Chains A and B, each alone.
Chain A
Amino acid sequence: MAMHGHLTPPKPGEELTVTFVDKEGEEHEFQVAQGDNLLDIAQSEELEMEGACGGSCACSTCHVIVESDDMYDKMDEPDDDENDMLDLAFGLTETSRLGCQVKMNKALNGLRVRLPSMTRNLQASDFSGAKKS
């Protein structure tokens, strides 16, 4: 019952490769088209990524971590709106991005991103000082 984005398949010869590493450490490699954003890709492939605000850069549920600094530097800088949301994300890193704001292009061919494990961080920070179960 997941909501699937409907992505147009890449034209032969123009496939770009992107790899998602999920919370369990499992790798998922996909061939995608230029212009697809990471949230749409993840949702159309049924990965666990929510996109609560529907990809409008108003929440942090599509937080991804870019594995290599080089790749991160090849992306356009996040704007204030995206950075403001990232500041609320769990497990924020120096190479964190919102999936809905990262569009695939030739320079990003071979991109690898990790999906952060959020639940545990939430529990730990929200109940700091509380009785441990």
Chain B
Amino acid sequence: MAVLGSGPAGFYTAYKVMSSIENAIIDMYECLPVPFGLVRFGVAPDHPEVKNCQDKFEEVASSPRFNFIGNVSIGKDLPLADLRPHYNAIIFAYGATKDRKLGISGEDRLKGIYSARDFVGWYNGFPEHQALAPDLESGEEAVIIGQGNVALDVARTLLSDVDSLRKTDMTHYALDALSKSKVNRVRVVGRRGPMQASFTIKEVRELLSLPSVSFDPIDPALLPPNAAKLSRSPKRLTQLLARGSSHPASQARKSWSLDFFLSPRSFNASKARPDYLSSLTFLKNELNGPDIFNSSATASPTTREISYPTSLAFRSIGYKSEAIDGMKDLGIDFDERRGIIPNDLHGRITSLSEDGTRIPGLYCSGWVKRGPAGVIANTMEDAFDTAESIAKDWENQETFLSGTNGWDALQGSVATKSLRPVSWDSWKKIDVAEKERGKAKGKEREKFANILDMLGVLD
């Protein structure tokens, strides 16, 4: 079977398929020379424990029934249709490669506006975004639009004492830029209220505990009046938000706030610097009843506007999956609206037609299956669910693709295209080189952020 993508969705699916179908052989394709997807490029450098799932992935990769084929982009380097004659199944687990845009005035034109995804990719050494060079020196204020965990990761990165990050695997150029950052005030802005925000309590607690960082108290009217009566999760969150930070503003170097009920309306420039962001205008929202403390309460805009001066803004309103070139040839109608591959909710790819029939041998897993939300544990469960579907279909002798020989057969055609596939052993060489570079600086690892540098290790 071919698995496209080497993040948690790909690896956990491979793991479960290999342990439930004896003799299953997995070829895992990855467009970069290095594996692990968002575990490497998404997880915050100061959350190294979250990356421990890599131990499991290493174990999967050490199986003789597993092949890693890095540095080969399916749909670009190798047409998707070329895989079909060589596999019994193709599993799409390539995640969400883009981010959602706001679609408001100034967004594409003004300097100083960054996608949080790009920023995270930048500090984590994602090749596509390593050259982002965000301007952290022009102003003291930053506004982050969105209140998910990515937004809070960005906030924490901006607010943390840079010395506390030096031992992490954050890239050297990001540490350098952060050490010169002038940002000392971060607003994290959401459309709805505290009980609807999508951050998780752990990330809020971390921010509230940052040394020398204060937090603007939340208006008690925005929090449920009877916290004790709530169910466990909202109760704990309410109590945490009500308690706020223990660092008084007078002794803080930096501060942050959660700003609620605001929908972004425009990014504005000043006359003096017409190409640069100078402020952000929001429309005030109201929550629709009956219960404004319900986690699914919706918001409606009012006509009241509010503007915040800032020269730095981050858009963090979610990721988005895209179709791979050539999907149509396999009969897949990518659902552009929902940003997922249509499936039976258990990973069996289905046609978009009325009957939603299963397309034999095609499966999806992770964010491209259910949308870009949740932590690694969610993706793991989701990947296991897809793997279970595959194992069941195999056991029930459902129709699969009738391809043979997998990567053994494809290697030849790759060679003629002058591609340079990276095997697991080659990745381990890159891995060792990165760890050695890190050691010299007292870091866990100093990543190569440039593909040529990664491949240079193998020359």
Task: Assess the A53–B18 pair: CB atoms within 8 A.
Answer: no
Q: Does B138 belong to the interface (CB within 8 Å)? A: no
**Which of B19, B53, B233, B384 meets A87, CB within 8 Å?**
B233
Interface 9-mer from B139-147, B276-284, B375-383, B416-424: B375-383
Task: Assess the B59–A123 pair: CB atoms within 8 A.
Answer: no
- Complex formed: what's the CA distance from A87 to B311 in Å? 36
Task: Decide yes or no: A133 and B346 within 8 Å by CB, A52-B52, A52-B56, A87-B201 being known contacts.
Answer: yes
Task: Decide yes or no: A59 and B377 within 8 Å by CB, A87-B200, A126-B370 being known contacts.
Answer: yes
- Complex formed: what's the CA distance from A130 to B344 in Å? 10
Q: Does A58 belong to the interface (CB within 8 Å)? A: yes
Task: Assess the A122–B385 pair: CB atoms within 8 A.
Answer: yes
Chain A residue numbers with a CB within 8 Å of B374 are 126
**Which of A53, A119, A123 meets B49, CB within 8 Å?**
A53
Q: Does B345 belong to the interface (CB within 8 Å)? A: yes
Task: Assess the A1–B345 pair: CB atoms within 8 A.
Answer: no
- Complex formed: what's the CA distance from A133 to B358 in Å? 11
Q: Does B337 belong to the interface (CB within 8 Å)? A: no
Identify the closest chain A residue to B18 (Cβ): A1
Identify the closest chain A residue to B43 (Cβ): A58
Determine which residue in A52, A54, A94 has the highest number of CB atoms from chain B within 10 A of its CB, and name it: A52
How would residues 48 to 69 of chain B score, 1 for a CB under 8 Å from any chain A CB and 0 otherwise? 0110110110011001000000
Chain A residue numbers with a CB within 8 Å of B439 are none
Task: Assess the B385–A56 pair: CB atoms within 8 A.
Answer: no
Q: Does A19 belong to the interface (CB within 8 Å)? A: no
- In the complex, which residues 77-133 of chain A have their Cβ closer than 8 Å to any Cβ of chain B? 80-81, 83-85, 87-88, 90, 92, 94, 118-119, 122-123, 126-127, 130-133
Chain B residue numbers with a CB within 8 Å of A54 are 49, 52-53, 55
Distance in angstroms from B160 CB to nearest chain A CB is: 18
List B residues at the A interface (Cβ < 8 Å): 15, 18-19, 47, 49-50, 52-53, 55-56, 59-60, 63, 200-202, 205, 232-233, 236-237, 344-346, 356, 370-371, 373-378, 380-382, 384-385, 388
Can you sample 25 A-B contacts with CB below 8 Å?
A: A2-B19, A50-B380, A52-B377, A53-B52, A54-B49, A54-B52, A54-B55, A56-B49, A57-B49, A59-B50, A61-B377, A84-B201, A87-B200, A87-B236, A87-B237, A90-B381, A119-B384, A122-B382, A123-B345, A123-B346, A126-B374, A132-B345, A133-B344, A133-B346, A133-B356
